[in-house]
Amino acid sequence: MAITSRRDVLRYSAAGVVTAATAAVGVQGVTSADSAAAPQSAAADPRDFDETYKSKKIKGKHNAGGKHELQINNRKLALTSINTLFFPEDGSAPHVGIGYISAVNHYDPVEIDETANRDGLKKLAKKIVDILGDAELSDEAAQEHRH
């Protein structure tokens, strides 16, 4: 059995106190950094909308990574992003971009980005309302699918 001196006990106790204090300060720094960052990530995208179009409530939310959300009369419409070739209506050169389709506009993708097509999600919502007319989305419209 090893003999522990009073000096060793004090030395190891002091080291333990310093380690615990350092950990507490580190945790406090990480916690305050997370809480400071939280309001920024919760900020709404300026392209988000919640309005009425042709007597239907349309709501769109832009999320990071292209996982945008769209609701028509409080019913979710699943969106799928695909790479596709676009032929702009303004006569500019065709280009490849990310198009969003749903069960309703499956063969007519709408481009959504942060520049020239920043209103693409709203354009898509209005296109869906135009296609639906008096009909409503079914529960199946919220089911995601892959391409």
What does the pLDDT look like over 88-147, one tens digit per residue? 888 899 999 999 999 999 889 999 887 888 899 999 999 999 999 999 999 888 988 776
Residue 142 DSSP class: G
Q: Is residue 34 pLDDT above 90, yes or no?
A: no
Burial of 57 (0-12, 13-18, 19+ CB in 10 A): middle
Q: Does the pLDDT of residue 33 top 70, yes or no? A: no
Whether pLDDT at 79 is above 60: yes
- The structure tokens listed for 109 are 């993708």
- pTM score above 0.85: no
Distance CA(107)–CA(110), nearest Å, equals 10
